[in-house]
Each structure stands twice: as C-alpha cells, then as structure tokens.
Amino acid sequence: MPEGAGFTRYLPGIRLMDPGKKNRGARGGDHHPAGWKMAKIILAEDDNDMRRFLVKALQNAGYDVISFDNGLSAYQRLREEPFELLLTDIVMPEMDGIELARRACELDPDIKIMFITGFAAVALNADAAAPKNAKVLSKPVHLRELVNEVHKMLAA
C-alpha cells in the first residue's frame, strides 16, 4: 500500500471506533447504522473483578453482554432468551462451566461456546464431555486477545 493510504475493515456485529471519540460501548447511547446487529453474549464467571473486566471489554467492542456469577443463574437466563455466544469459566459454584455448556447446547445447538479458564486441561480432556467446537482460552488472557477470539467465533 502506498504511504499514507489506509483501509477500512468491516466485521459482522462490530462497531468501529471513531479515532477522535471515546468508544462508549453498547450501552453508551451511540447510534448504529441500519441493519447493524449487536451480538448477544452471556458470560458466567465467578470472580467479580474478572467478570467486570470481561464485560467492559466486550461492551466496548460493541457486544450486548449479560453476566452471571455462577453457571446455574446463567443457565436459567439461557432458558429465557437466545444468545449467540456463551463465554464461561469452568470452575464455578452451583454448576460448572462444562455442564453449563452442555445444557446450553441442548437448548440451542447453534450457540457458540468459549471457555476462559485457568484449567484448560480440564476442558480439553475428552472425559469432560465439553462441546466439541468450543474454544478454550487460558487465564490470564489479554482482553484484546479475548475480543479478537470472540470476533472470530461470531464471524465464523
């Protein structure tokens, strides 16, 4: 590309930031172009600080995020409405992330599953019966990496 040239890349369900303005996220009152669809993500993470960071990063990337501190509460919400992506920790109280993912797939076989965990070997263990197409990210994870992986999963 010649010096000074640029390009714009449009990805599904992603709002690009205006470099001169702060991106206020999905709930910031910004107006979206016609036909823009905000992907809905359900997050289950029992660590309060981690959950807040993940929600903020995903909302800043333009996603609609609903979060819960345990798998059972997240599962109850999944029974009420559809989501495009389940992002879940594995080790949680009341219902672990693998059981949550299995139940989510029973409710909606098209839901995409991503585990974010310090116990990646558990998710990758064949005996765990985690959904086969699930993506596993190991903690600690950089928020930019997480957002990039979510973009890829939802675009696939």
Q: What confidence tens digit (pLDDT) does each residue in 63-122 have?
A: 999 999 999 999 999 999 999 999 999 989 899 999 999 999 999 999 999 998 886 655
Give the span between the Cα atoms of 26 and 40, in whole angstroms: 11
- Give domain 40-155's CATH superfamily: Response regulator (3.40.50.2300)
Domain ranges for the chain: 40-155
Give the span between the Cα atoms of 87 and 74, in whole angstroms: 10
Give the span between the Cα atoms of 65 and 41, in whole angstroms: 5
Mean pLDDT calculated for residue range 129-156? 86
Mean pLDDT calculated for residue range 47-65? 95
Mean pLDDT calculated for residue range 45-61? 95
CB atoms within 10 A of CB 29: 7
25 against 45, higher pLDDT: 45
Max CA separation in the chain (angstroms)? 57
In 7-154, DSSP assigns E strands to 40-44, 64-68, 85-88, 112-117, 135-138
